[in-house]
Amino acid sequence: MHAALITDKETIEFVEFEESAPDSDQVVVDITLCGICGTDIHSFQSPGPAWPATCGHEWTGIISKAGSEVTRVDEGDRVIIAVPPSCGSCPACHAGQMNKCQTVLMATMGRGPFETPHGGFAERLTIHHGRVVPANPDLTDEQAAQIEPAAICFHAVRATAPRLGDVAVIQGAGPIGLSALQWVLAAGAGTTIVVEPNNTRRDLALNLGAHHSIDPSIAVDFVAEHTRGLGGDVVYECAGIPATVQSAVDLARRGGRVSLIGLAMGDAPMSPRQWLTKEINVSAALGYTHEEFEMTMGYVGDGRIDLDALHSGTVALSEIADTFVELAGGQSEHTKVLVRP
């Protein structure tokens, strides 16, 4: 069996892996769909290989084999990739901080005891049963393949929720930004302003309920004008670009809040003096809890969160290299591309 891996900057190779029976605590999942994540593209644009387990980390599929000790899921179940439950034995868990479990953090980054030799850009993946969650039956396969990033946004907005009537600014209208926008609206923001350079994505943000959708070149003046010079009450940084970390602070009011959701691969230039004088409250969000994952499936399943609008195309695994080149070019009209192995 072959899996697609990012082996160097702008290089994707199909690597052969020997198939074997799952260990007693593992399952084999036949991948139905796997999403291409923004961090996949950032890795593709960066020197050196990407960590193998993270090459395709948003997938859904069917369990074809289950190890002898696996009882929580069965062969034939449709499942979605998720973080494992808290381990209960790491220093964070022993301190009562189960939601900051270090084993879960390592799994989120594709490392540790739950590490796999490749990700979901493959026909099948053998993985510990703790990394899969049964899919909500109300979800389509296309929706199921997008639950993992939607849950990340739910976790972030839940942690830094807008207050009723707040002016919320969302930087970036990719899949993360458009998902965050919907959670922000559901949480009660009074006005939402999406900042995005791509015309198609700006229009999509408006279709999903954004009150304003603007180009970054006019963002500072626009936000100032619409807030009587104050700035946004809360800014969600979803672009995942080093420079936009500081621009999130630029758009926030004094005493405002900034939530870092997008993952910038490089160091970010910043003005500490501005962060200090503005008394900015900064939060960051990585991952989600199993409760939040289940809640995300429920919101999508009953139509309150629209992931179908984000899905712009599905490609075969053989087309993945060309698709990465297109997405990395910055001019693609795609929003969320799914890969069908």
Contact 50, 15 (CB under 8 A): no
Looking at this protein, which amino acid is placed at residue 56? G
Q: Is the pLDDT of residue 326 over 80?
A: yes
> For the purposes of burial, counting CB atoms within 10 Å of the CB of 47, is it exposed (0-12), middle (13-18) or buried (19 or more)?
exposed
List 8's β-bridge partners, or say none. 11
| Percent of the residues in the chain that have a pLDDT greater than 90, as a whole number | 90
In this structure, what DSSP letter does residue 192 have?
Answer: E
Q: What is the pLDDT of residues 58-117, one digit of tens each?
A: 999 999 999 999 999 999 999 999 999 899 999 999 999 998 999 999 998 889 889 999
Q: Is the dihedral of CA 27, 28, 29, 35 positive or negative?
A: positive
**Domain span(s) for CATH 3.40.50.720 in the chain:** 151-284
**Domain span(s) for CATH 3.90.180.10 in the chain:** 2-146+307-340
As a whole number of angstroms, the distance between CA 223 and CA 130 comes to 44
- Kindly report the average pLDDT of the chain as a whole number: 95
Assigned CATH for 2-146+307-340: 3.90.180.10
As a whole number of angstroms, the distance between CA 238 and CA 11 comes to 25
Q: What is the pLDDT of residues 222-280, one digit of tens each?
A: 999 999 999 999 999 999 889 999 999 999 999 999 999 998 878 899 999 999 999 99
Question: Which pLDDT value is given to residue 265?
Answer: 77
Angle at Cα 329 formed by Cα 325 and Cα 330, nearest 5°?
135
CA dist 182 → 120, 194, 262 (Å): 27, 11, 16
For 151-284, CATH number out of 3.10.105.10, 3.55.50.30, 3.40.50.720, 3.40.50.300 equals 3.40.50.720
As a whole number of angstroms, the distance between CA 132 and CA 130 comes to 6
Q: Give the sheet arrangement for strand 191-195, strand by strand.
A: 212-214, 191-195, 167-171, 232-237, 252-260, 281-284
Phi first, then psi, for residue 150 (nearest 5°) are: -65, -35
As a whole number of angstroms, the distance between CA 209 and CA 283 comes to 25
- For 286-300, b/e burial (b = at least 16 CB within 10 A) is ebbbeebbbbbbebb
Higher pLDDT, 203 or 287: 203
Q: Which whole number is the average pLDDT over 283-311?
A: 95
The radius of gyration of the chain from alpha carbons, rounded to an integer in Å, stands at 20
Q: What is the pLDDT of residues 35-75, one digit of tens each?
A: 999 989 989 999 999 999 999 999 999 999 999 999 999 99
In this structure, what DSSP letter does residue 85 have?
Answer: P
